[in-house]
Structure 1
Amino acid sequence: MIRKSELTKDLYKPKEVGAMLGREQRTISNMVRAGKLEAIRTDTNRILIPKDSVAELLDRCGLLLEDEDARRDAIYVRVSSHEQKNRGNLDRQVSDIMMACEKEGLDRPIIIRDTGSGLNAKRKGLLRLIEMAKNHEVKRIFITNKDRLTRFGYEYLDELFSMADVKLIALQEKEDKDLQEELVDDMMSLLASFSGKLYRIRGNQKKKMREIIDSMPDQEDE
């Protein structure tokens, strides 16, 4: 990824543009010849590509990062079930964050909603949030409570976002009733998961023991 502010030269050689894109110099030169990339030629017939053309090409390839002031705030909200979602809990979380930040203001907030257990590390909203942080699209992430982001491992996510220069802000320390309900559901899910694994392990052990017994030769009575 290339920041727009890093494009400090007015003109770039095909070799330099190729290095930014991870392509060969010849590929960039061919793009110029095919009219796919604007460029100028010097008196000695050398190809030079204007900064604006380089930025446009990087943007088309998804490799251009806007400058720091282009980053926005993000609001992340989550519920465990569609029942909670239908009760308006997601909208209530968004409203609580907006009201709490009314004085200091939010910078063009991106609202990300998730429905799923806090134990699920592959939630679409969470993965999108991480990807946006990696791409320097957000500068602050607001959540009502740490458990809304994840049930376990909050510190690791906090460190991950910090490495991307993203500030993670939890507005509340105490759990609300909805989170207490979700905790019970999560614990029940954990118990069910572990119980299922335990039964499978025991079942496999019994199956192996039976196979061993069946494979033993019959002993005749003396």
Structure 2
Amino acid sequence: MSNVYRIGDFAKRVGRSVSTVRRWEAEGRITARRLPSGQRYFDDSDVRTVLQPGFDAARRKVVVYCRVSSSGQEADLAMQVAAMQRFCLARGLAVDEWISEVGGGMDLRREKFLALMDSIDRGEVATLVVAHKDRLARFGFDLVEHVAARSGCEIVVANQETLSPQQELVEDLLAVVHTFSGRLNGLRRYEKELERANLTVAGDR
């Protein structure tokens, strides 16, 4: 007897996101069945269809993402793009989309980065290529990779350290120090306010 899967369970079974399964439906690549109650479901035949080699590869993109932290690093960005072109050519990767962005590696709200992650979540990206892990995120690359893997996206890291400017690392570390310094100052103010409050209470007794 064939197993019955609701859309969330089916997505987990085939290792894709729910949004990807809905995209497949919209494209007519799979069709949900319905129980007498009207509830939509998939079965093992749909699982076998989706898990066939190349089922989703033909419609999914290879994307290269390049990033520098500031507009003054245009030369670094051009060098990074050129190096990625050589890397992809040597790997035999046919690139569908090139993304270049200017923004700090600690800022995970970068406009193009978020648009890329949305595209990955929709199952539109098969392979994402970056020069170095910190081109995507200075911290938290493992989480980004985990989210990508859940949507069937492989992240290929060229690991070219020369394309990860040391000056960026210095700037990001200074930003971390500045952030924690501000929090520490806030904590000290809070402690002083508590001391004053305690003294006031003690004086009123």
Taking the TM superposition and a 5 Å limit, the aligned residue runs for 1:166-205 are 166-173=153-160, 175-176=161-162, 178-205=164-191
Q: Which amino acid aligns with 1:131?
A: D
Unaligned runs of 5+ in 1: 10-14, 21-65
Alpha-carbon distance between aligned partners in 1 of 2:77 and 2:163, rounded to the nearest angstrom:
14
Quick one: percent identity of the two aligned structures? 26
1:19 CA drift (Å): 6.1
**Is 1:5–1:67's contact at 8 Å kept on the other side of the alignment?**
no
**Is 1:73–1:107's contact at 8 Å kept on the other side of the alignment?**
yes
**Structure 2 counterpart of 1:41:** none
Alpha-carbon distance between aligned partners in 2 of 1:95 and 1:181, rounded to the nearest angstrom:
20
**Structure 2 counterpart of 1:210:** 196
Runs of 4+ displaced beyond 6 Å: none
Alpha-carbon distance between aligned partners in 2 of 1:110 and 1:193, rounded to the nearest angstrom:
35
1:73 CA drift (Å): 0.7
Normalization by structure 2: what TM-score? 0.69
> What is the number of residues matched between the two proteins?
166
Q: Which has the larger radius of gyration?
A: 1
Structure 1, residues 134-175: CA drift from partner, whole Å, max 9, x if none? 1121111111111111112222222221221111011125x2
1:88–1:19 CA distance, 2 compared to 1 (3 A) = farther
**Structure 1 counterpart of 2:63:** 74
**Is 1:147–1:179's contact at 8 Å kept on the other side of the alignment?**
no
Alpha-carbon distance between aligned partners in 2 of 1:166 and 1:208, rounded to the nearest angstrom:
51
Structure 1 residues 98-107 or 178-187, which shifts more? 98-107
**Is 1:78–1:114's contact at 8 Å kept on the other side of the alignment?**
yes
Unaligned runs of 5+ in 2: 1-21, 42-54
Computed over aligned residues only, the root mean square deviation of the Cα atoms, in angstroms, reads 2.9
Alpha-carbon distance between aligned partners in 1 of 2:133 and 2:165, rounded to the nearest angstrom:
10
Taking the TM superposition and a 5 Å limit, the aligned residue runs for 1:26-65 are none
**Structure 1 counterpart of 2:15:** none
**Structure 2 counterpart of 1:94:** 81
**Is 1:72–1:107's contact at 8 Å kept on the other side of the alignment?**
no
**Is 2:65–2:129's contact at 8 Å kept on the other side of the alignment?**
yes
- Classify the secondary structure of the residue corresponding to 1:68: coil
Alpha-carbon distance between aligned partners in 1 of 2:118 and 2:29, rounded to the nearest angstrom:
21
Matched, 1:6 2:30: yes
